[in-house]
Structure 1
Amino acid sequence: MANGNKKTDFVYDAEQIQVLEGLEAVRRRPGMYIGGTDTKALHHMVYEVVDNAIDEAMQGRCDHIWITIHKDESVTVTDNGAGIPVGIQQQMGMSALTVVMIKLHAGGKFGGGGYKVSGGLHGVGVSAVNALSTWMETTVKRNGKIYRQRFERGIPVSEVDEIGTCDPNDTGTSQRFLRDDTIFQVFEYDWPTLITRFREMAFLTRGVDFTFVDERPEPAREFNFYFEGGVQTFVRYLNKNREVFHAPIYVDIEVEGTQVEAAIQYTDGYNESIFAFANTINTPDGGSHLTGLRAAITRQVNDYARKQGMLKENDDNFTGDDTRQGMTAIISVKVLE
């Protein structure tokens, strides 16, 4: 029987059903796209744009990425990759550059052959950044020409203008944006937080130069990262203040189209430090790549101990915790789209 508490004095009809078009949904619910409007979300804006440059590097089309924080807290991310296409995208009937910047789920990462491996919010990242910025300018060098388009809160306020020429071999994309003060709760980027993330990206994208400049202080400060050793160098860096027992054990192999890179080094510590990444994105909750690494280490240590007579026939195997005590490890997988 009804309890008599059911409301009857309300209006809920077809007029209350709303459809958010284009990037309006991003501005209304930023937490669904970048996790919120706090410090972490503000920095995530930068990471999403840098991830696009990393994607170019993973295709072998880019070997240098520049990140600059300007005095007005705007950020520029530049790469020397192929450059976003500017020709007409037939499905939408507008420049591919405009499509990428204003349409969610648009890009070359959905099996079209543009990217075999990629990270970030596929087809959402840069358009979400555009939507959550007071203004954003995209500059592209491609086919010996320089193009630019400007957006304000995700809306194009200019065409894709040809603004100059360049060497045909000089290609790439530059994105400059200023976060929207009406959306974010914090407005300043934290230098140490960004340094840590860019160093991590450089370790995971070996052979790629990262130049990070902060123009806010006087004089400006600059960091450069370049690691030819990949995750081997990453493990050495993590263990720089620990006593290590051996050089890093390194694996770089392709398994059914997935590139697997791992480095392991034991120290005199008691705790394990394992970090897992998929397409350069940290996976703190683990995944099959992390589970597989842990299982393989435990199995190999027990097999070796049996063969060497360290474990007798009636002895129990070492547990996973036993085999990982004092271990520092990185596993990075690059999964095909």
Structure 2
Amino acid sequence: MSEETTKYDASNIQVLEGWEAVRKRPGMYVGSTSERGLRHMVFEVADRAVNEVLDGRAASVDVTLTPDGGVCVVDDGPGIPIDETEGADDPGLEALLTQMQAGAGAGGRHDVTLGFCGVGPAVVNALSQRMTAEVRREGVRWVQEYARGVAATPLTEAGTATGSGTTIAFWPDADIFGAAEFSFDGLEERFRELAFLNQGLEISLTDLRRSDESRSVQLRFPGGARDFVAFLDGHEAASAPMDIIAFEHEDPRMAGMMEVAFRWRSCPEERVRSFANSRPTVDGTHTVGFRDGTAAAVTAYAREQGLLTATDPDFGADQIGEGLTAVVSVKLDRPEFEGSTRAVLGNAEVRDCVRQAVQDRLGRWLREDQARAAVVIDWIFQGARRD
């Protein structure tokens, strides 16, 4: 290899300024330039609106896929502050939509991040050929338009407003996303999760892209995790030998609260869904604690009933999962995630807190409803023998 081909100096360094870096490498910010990236853009815009509802400043969020390929997100909160002087903690409208946010930290228990990294709506603006904002605040309606990350018009007063709230609409840039389209089902799945995990949240999702195939869903679940388990079981609920065990519990040792719901039904598949601060997780101390707690409760009850002898080993966490449907959700003031994807919860104290709470509730149910407990224990014994 010649010296000329290996030469590397300052002339080889490319400096990207402003939003050019985001548009050059969009996958670094929204995951991909496929449908998955488009879906993440919706979540980045809806993030703020959802948190307005959870903070008690708004009642609902409406998301609409429009006929011209855009997305419109509406909330009925107080309206985004118009300038920096109006809100002590919140950026003004133009700053929010044109300046890169510092990025989502771990967040407290009340801070919900819909997507995987929380880059903010300004990144969505940068990847959109057009974005519009309407703020209804203190009786005045304000509007502004943007293009590819920068303001295209000044913030303009546009008359009086009826009620309050914010509407943000955006149209993804076809030069970046090509012919990719939003998936209604993909958006519905994540918004449904959020509505299950946050009982006060109401989200509507409407698809107007095709006049002959319009769709709309209203997502609100006062039963929380209990409703989630029932949804996961679907028609198989009829085969369940027990009602859903569901509880919420605040534990200061983990600086947070847990919401857990579960039951066994007469089929071999295991469905355990776990979440930390409304973020889906694949594993973590909360799921380990849940499995430890169920195994400990079943073992203790089986010994009380003489179903296990002194020489029989305890049930292992891997032996009680057959036929189990569960939702394990924790909301922590200081969550600690392992890895950049935040898919594994690492808070060590959570394991024992969840284990103890699950063991107490399941143990109580087993002792109080012994007829149905016998059916569940027999099912678990059969599964253990098959293993």
Give the match for residue 161 of structure 1: 156
Give the match for residue 268 of structure 1: 266
**Which one of the candidate residues 307, 315, 320 is aligned to 2:317?**
320
**Which one of the candidate residues 157, 162, 173 is aligned to 2:166?**
173
Q: Distance in 1 between matches of 2:191 and 2:106?
A: 28
- Asked if structure 2 preserves the Cα contact closer than 8 Å seen for 1:251 and 1:262, the reply is yes
**Which one of the candidate residues 106, 124, 129 is aligned to 1:134?**
129
SS, match of residue 146 in structure 2: strand
Q: Distance in 1 between matches of 2:318 and 2:106?
A: 40
The 1:329–1:61 alpha-carbon spacing in structure 2 relative to 1, beyond 3 Å, is same
| CA RMSD between the two structures | 2.7
- Asked if structure 1 preserves the Cα contact closer than 8 Å seen for 2:296 and 2:315, the reply is no
- Asked if structure 2 preserves the Cα contact closer than 8 Å seen for 1:248 and 1:264, the reply is yes
Q: 1:239-250 maps to which residues of 2 (within 5 A)?
A: 239-242=233-236, 243-250=239-246
The 1:289–1:105 alpha-carbon spacing in structure 2 relative to 1, beyond 3 Å, is farther
- Asked if structure 2 preserves the Cα contact closer than 8 Å seen for 1:83 and 1:171, the reply is yes
**Which one of the candidate residues 189, 203, 207 is aligned to 1:214?**
207
CA offset digits 1:200-250 (Å, max 9, x no partner): 222222233222221122243322222111111111011122111222111
* Percent of pairs with identical residues: 36
Give the match for residue 344 of structure 2: none
1:154 partner letter:
G
**How big is the shift at 1:95?**
6.4
Structure 2, unaligned runs of 5 or more: 335-387
**How big is the shift at 1:288?**
2.4
The two structures have a TM-score, normalised by structure 1, of 0.86
CA offset digits 1:166-195 (Å, max 9, x no partner): 35xx33222100111011143322233333
CA offset digits 1:252-272 (Å, max 9, x no partner): 122333232111111111121
- Asked if structure 2 preserves the Cα contact closer than 8 Å seen for 1:100 and 1:127, the reply is yes
Q: Distance in 2 between matches of 1:112 and 1:305?
A: 42
CA offset digits 1:116-167 (Å, max 9, x no partner): 4231466613122111111111222223322222211111112222223335
- Asked if structure 2 preserves the Cα contact closer than 8 Å seen for 1:26 and 1:132, the reply is yes
Structure 1, unaligned runs of 5 or more: none
Q: Distance in 1 between matches of 2:289 and 2:246?
A: 16
The two structures have a TM-score, normalised by structure 2, of 0.76
The 1:23–1:306 alpha-carbon spacing in structure 2 relative to 1, beyond 3 Å, is farther
In the alignment of these two chains, the number of paired residues is: 325
1:213 partner letter:
T
Q: Distance in 2 between matches of 1:235 and 1:23?
A: 43
1:301 aligned to 2:313?
no
SS, match of residue 95 in structure 2: helix
Q: Distance in 1 between matches of 2:156 and 2:300?
A: 64
The 1:124–1:22 alpha-carbon spacing in structure 2 relative to 1, beyond 3 Å, is farther
**Which one of the candidate residues 130, 146, 153 is aligned to 1:151?**
146
Q: Distance in 2 between matches of 1:157 and 1:95?
A: 19
1:205 aligned to 2:198?
yes
**How big is the shift at 1:45?**
1.4
CA offset digits 1:91-115 (Å, max 9, x no partner): xxx96222221222258x76999x9
1:241 partner letter:
H
Give the match for residue 39 of structure 2: 43
Q: Distance in 2 between matches of 1:150 and 1:46?
A: 18
Q: Distance in 2 between matches of 1:300 and 1:159?
A: 63
- Asked if structure 1 preserves the Cα contact closer than 8 Å seen for 2:34 and 2:180, the reply is no
Q: Distance in 2 between matches of 1:47 and 1:224?
A: 17
